[in-house]
Structure 1
């Protein structure tokens, strides 16, 4: 019984991982506060130079 259970668990894990890869999130990638500030400063410099 233990061998069957172990094999089933291994196979279930494999299926679960493959399904997780298929369903990607639509959430936007996280951008840190410092990175947002840096991007805003760069954009400000671009607009000022025009």
Structure 2
């Protein structure tokens, strides 16, 4: 192997080493949402439904009181 080829290979090796040091974006390292079991989802859904219904009932009762006056 002549000198020129040897230098080219060394430069390529160094360039590759520099590239390997760089942190590459990894699509699989994105933050995943925490797993919520089916039972937990049902509980949260029921809780949300009761909370959504409560303000609607309060508004309905306050609205009927205003109309009564």
Report the TM-score when normalising by structure 1. 0.47
Report the TM-score when normalising by structure 2. 0.38
